[in-house]
Amino acid sequence: MKQYIEERAVEIAQYIIEQNATVRTTAKKFGISKSTVHKDLTDRLEKINPQLASQARQVLEVNKAERHIRGGMATKEKYLHLSSSFGTQSEDRFM
């Protein structure tokens, strides 16, 4: 494995552990795909630093367990925002 890939995998793991970040936010931060982040954490890191891989896996498991809750909250926010902006528009139309 190339040196820069190993360094990236360790850096990604440290970021996820310190920030409790999701795969998506980590991918955006590092400018790589979600698939690459996931592969770095699950496959490559295990060979480089098993202890760090274990800590990163714990964060990923928590994120996986909470994702349905986050999705529901995001949907709720979306529709609250849409309904409040729709109410304002309809009031303006009838005045």
- Predicted confidence (pLDDT) per residue in 10-38, tens digit: 999 999 999 999 999 999 999 999 999 99
The number of distinct structural domains making up the chain is 1
Look up the domain containing 53 and give its range.
Answer: 3-93
Per-residue burial over 15-28, b if 16 or more Cβ lie within 10 Å, else e, is bbeeeebbbebbbe
Which residues, 6 or more positions from 22, have their beta carbon under 8 angstroms from its beta carbon? Answer: 63
Say what the pLDDT of residue 73 is.
79
Task: Report residue 87's pLDDT band, with 50, 70 and 90 as the boundaries.
Answer: low
DSSP 8-state class, residue 21: -
pLDDT tens across 39-70, in order? 999 999 999 999 999 999 999 999 888 777 77
